[in-house]
Amino acid sequence: MPALLLLPLALAACADTGRAPVPLGMAAPSSSMTALPAAHLAARPVAGAVNSEIRLSGEGYPAHGRVVFTFHGTQVGEATADAVGRFAEVAVVVPAAFGDAGPGTQVTIGATSGPFYAETPFVLTR
């Protein structure tokens, strides 16, 4: 009988919020979605000339997932993440197509595996 007495109060409260009542014993739906864990990417060195080698390391990717590396949108390589979603010291080269960019130009290095993405800045030198 106490549940029947609470029902009018619950209906009145829902009328104020504009939401439908949640039946007793059921959880209310959540309006927030679960976010994917954040992926991280690091470059070493953080600056260099065209045709120089960069070493990329990252974590937070799918286990054994294919990770594609881009240099300001241009694909420069790929690797496979390990069992815990990491990769380390993957060598890529600064594309020759950026030879006309002036010293000090900042570009973005990206690493993508499905919905997992991270980026890090890189500065072009001569």
pLDDT average per 10 residues of sequence, the chain (126 residues): 45 46 46 67 97 97 97 96 97 94 94 96 94
User: Is pTM beyond 0.85 here?
Assistant: no
Mark out the alpha helices in the chain (DSSP H runs): 2-17
Strand partners, 42: 57
pLDDT score at 34 = 55
Token reading at 65:
């997932």
In the prediction, which pLDDT does 126 show?
80
Q: What is the pLDDT of residue 36?
A: 59
Radius of gyration of the chain (CA): 25
Q: Is 61 left (phi over 0), alpha (psi -120 to 50) or beta?
A: beta
pLDDT confidence of residue 70 = 97
Question: Which pLDDT score is estimated for 23?
Answer: 44
Task: Tell me which residue has tokens 């974590």.
Answer: 59
State residue 103's pLDDT score. 92
Residue 17 dihedral angles phi and psi, to the nearest 5°: -95, -15
**pLDDT value for 10:** 44
